[in-house]
Structure 1
Amino acid sequence: MEKLKMHSPDLTQDNIARLRELFPGCVTEAKSEDGSVKLAVDFDQLRQELSGSVVEGPQERYHLNWPGKREALLTANAPIAKTLRPSRNESVDYDSTRNLFIEGDNLDALKLLQETYLGKVKLVYIDPPYNTGKDFIYKDDFSTDVGDYLQQSSQTDSEGGRLVANTEANGRFHSDWLSMIYPRLKLARNLLRDDGAILISIDDNEADNLRKICDEVFGEENFVGQIVWQRSKKGDSKLIAKVHEYILCYVRDKDSVLVNGPWRRPKEGADQVLAKYAELRASLGTNHEAIRAEMQAWYKQLPSDDPRKAHKHYNWSDDRGLYFAADFAGPDDGRESRPRHDILHPVTGKSCKKPSTGWRWDEEKTKWALAQTPPRIHFGPDETTIPTRKSYLFEIDSEPYSSVFYRDGRSATLEVEELVGKGWFPFPKNTDVLTELIELVTKPNDIILDFFAGSGSTGHAVMKVNQAHGSKRRFILVQIPEETGRTGYATIADITKKRLREVGKKITSGGVIGAGDIGFRALKIDSSNMADIFYSPDALENSNLDMFVDNIKPDRTPEDLLFQVMLDWGVDLSLSIIKQTIQGKEVFFVDGNALVACFDAHSGIDEGFVKELAKHQPLRVMFRDAGFKDSAVKINVEQIFKSLSPSTEVKCI
């Protein structure tokens, strides 16, 4: 019976396997330090395969490099022996929610999520430390080689020690920050769908370096834009007041993104204008002259800075909708070949006056427009007026997202203070901006990931979008339990969870029907559920062989084991979990029969119980070694399922 791996994927070996598909002669086998045989790259042969007129290597080439880059790549690829442990008491709607909140180091979290969410995340948004010299960054340990990394990473450690101040006096000021962000972006890219995108907030301190590192990780061809967010109208400075920051945008694969159509955002105020027009159509019917008069009067009474007033030129009406009589003339580019065909007035039957630059449309498209019901060309009272084309608001009520925008940053602080109290979280992100970005990039059932969750602005924004549109977007947030050093909230992660709870309460108290998922399933990163000796069996003396009767740590619950199994098998961590008692034993059913698990440790699993589980036709089934009545039952388990449920995959822990 196959055993679980009990650690995250070894990405180095995965990368070598991919390389072997392209250059099979460049991959060989070699012994690692622990004596096991693994794939290895023959770099001399690989250089020969890639050599042409120019051999890449010691020659100068264009790339971003810094002290520690190779070590950062090593830590991105190295496996870890950790797991996620559920925390029901800290969750909201644990059994039904599809949202996840993971407490722990985000590098570990990204590794643990590799198999389960590989290629499934539509949007990654992060607001990492800006490296201002005053904030904290993750201190990743590169002091050991990859042979020691697995054993070291299985130990329980204080997460609070993972953050250090990165002052400008540090000789590796930029290098340390780059070594921190590089492996996390590498792992995040794996989680993105082909049509997925990543948005990264940053300021001038590392914007240039971040752009170069993203070019390497995501490909320069997948750069979409660098958005400038003006957060204030004024600032203090002896030279230039910096009142902006950036949102850097890359996609996983630009061609895949474009297949789904262009990104568009609603024009501000357009929906309200169309709603007013719908009211007038309901009351005035097809009296389009009266509708136009009412629309003009309504626009006139709006304040000058009202976004709805920007659409005041949309005041004509026909049976198709509200439209603007737009210019029909061709551009003044000096071309004599512009279309100059006759257009007859529908009342007088005479040829209408032509613009000096000719028509925008050729004769064929003009005939098409005139043949529509109603026609898509607007005429004046007679032929002396140049016709115009009808531009309908409902057809152009969206626009590309601008690369520059203003949004006051102070409102976000007030929003957080209302939910968690004053003075707890400076400079949170504006959820209105995040909702716009989520609406721009994602669809109703997509997954949004934020592994620098902070106060939880991204989760808050996802809830707002779901409430507004009745969608089922879901979030995965990751936040390290950084100590606050104050009473009230022990860690930043506690602030995140408090905010998410309060947002849910606020939405619920509003009495909104179909407000969406306002819960989250809380998970915490911890050392593996397996006893430490599981990872170093050579250290076990013969006198201690009885320890292998059960190699699970004594403080771990069956639900802890379930989540480690879900991680290893790549099962979505947000799926429904139902517990049932069958023949006196606790059995977990994940998403119906997607996974069935029994972690009974009292040697009570017999063939009758196994046959009972097989009746459920599970896709996967999991048992605990120590739970079998005897070795004969364990041996027969696979045969029983082959007979009663042949498609079931069987494993034990």
Structure 2
Amino acid sequence: MQTDNEKYNKTVRPNTAFLNELKNKLPEFFAKDGSFDLDKFKTQLKEKNINELSEGYQLDFIGKDYARRQAGEMPSTVIVPDEKQNRGGGAHSKNLFFTGDNLEVLRHLQTAYANKVDMIYIDPPYNTGQDDFAYPDNFEYTDDQLEDMFGLDDDQLTRLKSIQGKSSHSAWLTFMYPRLQLAKHLLKRDGVIFIAIDDNEDSNLKEICDEIFGENNFLAQVVWERAYAPINLKKNFSPSHDYMLVYGRDANIIETNGIMRSNEADDRYSNPDNDPRGVWQSDNLSVGPAIEKNIYPVTTPSGRVVEPPAGRSWSLSQNAFRERLADNRIWFGSDGNGVPRLKRFKSELRKTGITPMTIWKYKEVGHSQEATQYLQKLMGGKKYFAYPKPVKLVQRAIQLYSDENSIIMDFFAGSATTAEAVIRQNIDDQGHRKFIMVQLPEKTYHINKDGKQVPTKGGRTAFEDGFMSVDEIARERIRRAAEKIEDDNELTLPEDFDGSFKHYRVVKPTKQTLENIDDFDPNNTDLFTNMVEGFSSKSLNIPGDASGEETILTTWLAQDGYPFDVNIQEIKFGNYHAHMVDNRLYIINEGWNSTQTKELLNQLGTNELDLQTVVLFGYSFNILDLRELENGLKQLDSKVTLIKRY
């Protein structure tokens, strides 16, 4: 039989994600059959005097409809908790690290973390044509299915499938589009995303971001000076910068915290005239080009008459100048003979700090070589990553758009620079920010024709040191960085310092489990296969010591909108163990029969148990026990909803 998600995904079209979002915000424009009432919508537009035919353009590329469809699909994977980590070093941590395909992880988080993430920083593959990107999707549909989904003819289908394993612009955009679409849903209304990119895809990224986030929500294109010296072997230019595109969910309500003021900047303020309003510094009062009406003579206290320099004028009108002069806000120098300057008091500066500019110098936020050297030293002198980002670079982004309790996400975690940046920022301002990292378990080896493990081109050092995949290195980096931060801040470390994480693997069920699902008959009176066991770490052939029940429960809780640190209560019905969260009872394991049903109904009838919903794993129930439970719940005075999941 098909799983619930498989049934849903068969109905998904390129505009499904958009329609779901529209239905959530404008349900009044949908008919009972779920169709959108376009005529009603047009009428509303006309009544509000909006030009529905206004000019505009958008970026088209091979695979766009496929990418849009991917954004609307349900996950086909399960979330497997790493119980060894989660009961050990990560037991009390609020941070999360997911190993798996970030598209699947983003799908899993759509309910639990919708509108909850404050800031996203990502450093996706740059698509330079140097083996740093190849489109990974294998199109797990038949040609007939693809043609039907998107209304393609044979030539169009051939073009779509041509992006497989390629690094073309269309392939890169098809890869990025659904991930950005899903990421947008996770951001709060005042949330912000930083996307690192270089010249190869900068213009294309800008266009799809304008489409997904809205061009009105574009905040900046930051230029990061990543190199401090030219590469003289370059034929024409030696690139010295990368970009970060910055978009907000709703730019109308977003305001930066600003850059923290340095001691050097504060030292520029003084109070030479003992002004009771406190320390100040003076600004040039002339501006250019000249504004005719703002050119007028000013008499200094010493009696000297001065005018603005040639081609310039005063920045204040004559009336405004007189007002500032009367308020002792004009400074003529200690001898009263200088050109007038405007006094700006430190007490009147923006409480949020210095407004950031769009060019970030390497002296302020670090450069690429510095980041490589730092990470190499942290990892015991071994170079595992070629181009990591500096911690200070990501930390500045965090400073600008987060508060002390923010959630920061990076779904291209790489070397986990973002995780360290979050931890360091918490030390700097005593914050309690939490991170969510996602990293594909990209292997550091491949299997040769003799069946032997052979290190990849850039993975030899990591492979020889026992790291089988990139995500393992990232997690080890977080541990080492946290240990260093603890050592460096031993005397001032907060009691609730969180330098660890809970770890989850997002994986597809095995072929055998999928075959068992296909063969399952819900009308059987006997169960021949323990379906729960197929979802354990052991059956999935991954480390972590998770039982099948723990995997299913973790996956369901995320689906139902619960965070990963939710309180789970164990409930016993005789010798059967179930789990309860809020007013939802989860029944997963085999072994539920009439005895447990009677006990459940008795506890509900005596108000010993307060339930609204029972969620059960359909593969663990034969038809007779399932019907008995259904009928029993229907007879209760208080309504309890039964949800069967497959």
Q: How well do the aligned residues superpose, as a CA RMSD in angstroms?
A: 4.8
SS at match of 1:476: strand
Contact 1:23 1:46 in 2 (8 A): no
SS at match of 1:429: coil
Contact 2:535 2:552 in 1 (8 A): no
Counterpart of 1:104 in structure 2 is 100
Structure 1 pair 353–336 and aligned structure 2 pair: CA distance change class (3 A): farther
Structure 1 pair 610–431 and aligned structure 2 pair: CA distance change class (3 A): farther
Of the three residues 596, 602, 620, the one matched with 2:591 is 602
Counterpart of 2:316 in structure 1 is 360
d(CA) in 2 for partners of 1:615, 1:322: 67
What amino acid is aligned across from residue 264 of structure 1 in structure 2? Answer: G
SS at match of 1:324: strand
1:386, CA displacement in angstroms?
Answer: 7.3
What amino acid is aligned across from residue 126 of structure 1 in structure 2? Answer: I
Counterpart of 2:290 in structure 1 is 333
Counterpart of 2:542 in structure 1 is none
Correspondence 1:230 to 2:225: yes
Structure 1 pair 383–463 and aligned structure 2 pair: CA distance change class (3 A): closer
Counterpart of 2:561 in structure 1 is 570
d(CA) in 1 for partners of 2:525, 2:576: 28
Structure 1 pair 635–551 and aligned structure 2 pair: CA distance change class (3 A): farther
Correspondence 1:265 to 2:259: yes
What amino acid is aligned across from residue 349 of structure 2 in structure 1? Answer: I
1:79, CA displacement in angstroms?
Answer: 2.5
Correspondence 1:220 to 2:179: no
Structure 1 pair 352–332 and aligned structure 2 pair: CA distance change class (3 A): farther
Of the three residues 492, 507, 522, the one matched with 2:503 is 522
SS at match of 1:212: helix
What amino acid is aligned across from residue 259 of structure 2 in structure 1? Answer: R
State the Cα deviation string for residues 194-230 of structure 1 (Å, max 9, x = none). 2111111111111121112212222222222211111
1:370, CA displacement in angstroms?
Answer: 6.5
State the Cα deviation string for residues 142-161 of structure 1 (Å, max 9, x = none). 35269979xxxxxxxxxxxx
Contact 1:605 1:627 in 2 (8 A): no
d(CA) in 2 for partners of 1:122, 1:6: 32
Of the three residues 197, 200, 204, the one matched with 2:195 is 200
What amino acid is aligned across from residue 391 of structure 1 in structure 2? Answer: R
Structure 1 pair 194–535 and aligned structure 2 pair: CA distance change class (3 A): farther
Identical counterparts, % of pairs:
26
Of the three residues 121, 126, 145, the one matched with 2:122 is 126
Counterpart of 1:15 in structure 2 is 18
Correspondence 1:246 to 2:243: yes
SS at match of 2:559: helix
SS at match of 1:483: coil
Structure 1 pair 41–391 and aligned structure 2 pair: CA distance change class (3 A): closer
Contact 1:98 1:521 in 2 (8 A): yes
Counterpart of 1:425 in structure 2 is 385
Of the three residues 552, 566, 577, the one matched with 2:532 is 552
Greater displacement, 128-137 / 599-608: 599-608
Contact 2:128 2:200 in 1 (8 A): yes
What amino acid is aligned across from residue 472 of structure 1 in structure 2? Answer: H
d(CA) in 2 for partners of 1:609, 1:44: 50
d(CA) in 2 for partners of 1:97, 1:234: 43
Correspondence 1:403 to 2:384: no
Counterpart of 1:324 in structure 2 is 281
Contact 1:328 1:389 in 2 (8 A): yes
State the Cα deviation string for residues 7-35 of structure 1 (Å, max 9, x = none). 98868545345667879899796xxxxxx
1:439, CA displacement in angstroms?
Answer: 0.8
Contact 2:330 2:340 in 1 (8 A): yes
1:339, CA displacement in angstroms?
Answer: 9.5
Contact 1:585 1:598 in 2 (8 A): no
d(CA) in 1 for partners of 2:612, 2:372: 48
Counterpart of 2:544 in structure 1 is none
Contact 1:7 1:82 in 2 (8 A): no
SS at match of 2:134: strand
SS at match of 2:526: helix
Unaligned runs of 5+ in 1: 30-38, 150-165, 275-310, 346-350
Structure 1 pair 96–620 and aligned structure 2 pair: CA distance change class (3 A): farther
Correspondence 1:186 to 2:181: yes
What amino acid is aligned across from residue 137 of structure 1 in structure 2? Answer: A
d(CA) in 2 for partners of 1:379, 1:208: 49
Instruction: Compute the TM-score of the two structures, normalised by the length of structure 1.
Output: 0.72
SS at match of 1:399: coil
Counterpart of 1:412 in structure 2 is 371
d(CA) in 1 for partners of 2:392, 2:371: 9
Counterpart of 2:450 in structure 1 is none
Counterpart of 2:459 in structure 1 is none
Counterpart of 1:153 in structure 2 is none
Contact 2:99 2:438 in 1 (8 A): yes
1:361, CA displacement in angstroms?
Answer: 7.3
1:454, CA displacement in angstroms?
Answer: 0.5
State the Cα deviation string for residues 168-199 of structure 1 (Å, max 9, x = none). x95x6222112111121121122222211111
SS at match of 1:265: coil
Contact 2:114 2:186 in 1 (8 A): yes
Contact 1:595 1:619 in 2 (8 A): yes
Greater displacement, 601-610 / 247-256: 601-610
Of the three residues 466, 490, 495, the one matched with 2:468 is 490
Correspondence 1:454 to 2:437: no
Contact 1:638 1:650 in 2 (8 A): no
Contact 1:117 1:191 in 2 (8 A): yes
1:80, CA displacement in angstroms?
Answer: 3.0
1:137, CA displacement in angstroms?
Answer: 3.4
Unaligned runs of 5+ in 2: 147-162, 309-313, 446-462, 537-546
Structure 1 pair 623–63 and aligned structure 2 pair: CA distance change class (3 A): closer
d(CA) in 2 for partners of 1:322, 1:48: 60
Contact 1:75 1:142 in 2 (8 A): no
Contact 1:106 1:480 in 2 (8 A): yes
SS at match of 2:118: strand
d(CA) in 1 for partners of 2:507, 2:358: 41
Number of residue-to-residue matches in the alignment? 566
Contact 2:63 2:170 in 1 (8 A): yes
d(CA) in 2 for partners of 1:449, 1:7: 30
State the Cα deviation string for residues 109-144 of structure 1 (Å, max 9, x = none). 111111111222121111111111121334113352
SS at match of 1:571: coil
d(CA) in 2 for partners of 1:25, 1:415: 55
Contact 2:17 2:69 in 1 (8 A): no
1:440, CA displacement in angstroms?
Answer: 0.3
d(CA) in 2 for partners of 1:339, 1:498: 67
1:250, CA displacement in angstroms?
Answer: 1.4
Structure 1 pair 409–384 and aligned structure 2 pair: CA distance change class (3 A): closer
d(CA) in 1 for partners of 2:84, 2:325: 63
Structure 1 pair 339–104 and aligned structure 2 pair: CA distance change class (3 A): same
